[in-house]
Every structure is written in C-alpha cells, then in structure tokens.
Amino acid sequence: MTSGLRYRHIGSRAADQADSIVARGSTIVELFGTWQIARVHLVVTVDNLLSTVWNEAQFATSSRLRGEPAPVTELNFTPGAPRTVQVGLDYRF
C-alpha cells in the first residue's frame, strides 16, 4: 500500500504588461493511494480534494464591439476542474 498528498500552488500575478489586471492564484491538493492484493492492483486518485474554485488558464484580452468608442480589456479564463475521483484496477496474469 502506498498513499500520498500533493499540492500545487500558483500565486497571483499580472495578466497584462501594464500590471493592471491580476490573474488569481490558487492552491490545488491531490490525494492518491495504491493497493496491491495478490495479482490485483488498485489505484485511487482524488484531484482538487478541497473542491477549490480556480482558473486553469488566465490571460488579459482586449475586445471592442461595433459602436463602442474604445476597446475593453478584461481577464479571460478557463475554469479549473472540480473535485474529481479516478479509480483504476488492473489484474496481472
């Protein structure tokens, strides 16, 4: 049997060159365990154990709709994955 806990921390940082938009930092925790019983090997992983709301990719972008006098610069992001449980099982002949 093995088990472990991993974490990944990324601090808040500038999302644009002017340092006017901040990309939000996050800390993600992962728990994992493996068990070997005879010829059966079981693996369980829990990603985002604390169910943290986080942003995977973050970047500043400027857009301007027709008729708007000036472009608007804002933070765009891809939401990070929620808590996810993965289970793997293999049998060795």
pLDDT, tens digit, 9 for 90 and up, residues 2-26: 999 999 999 999 998 888 999 999 9
pLDDT of 8: 96
pLDDT at residue 36, rounded to an integer: 96
Give ∠ CA 50-36-2 in degrees, rounded to 5.
40
Give the pLDDT band of residue 52 (cuts 50, 70, 90): very high
pLDDT for residue 22: 94
Residue 5 bridge partners (DSSP): 31
Burial (CB count within 10 angstroms: exposed 0-12, middle 13-18, buried 19+), residue 79: exposed
The single-letter DSSP state of residue 17 is T
Position 23 scores a pLDDT of 95
Distance CA(20)–CA(14), nearest Å, equals 7
Per DSSP, the residues of 19-86 read S-SEEPPEEEEEEEEEEEETTEEEEEEEESTT----EEEEEEEEE--TT-SS-EEEEEEEEPP--EEE
Mean pLDDT computed over 18-43: 96
Mean pLDDT of the residues in the chain: 95
Mean pLDDT value of segment 60-89: 94
pLDDT of residue 32: 98
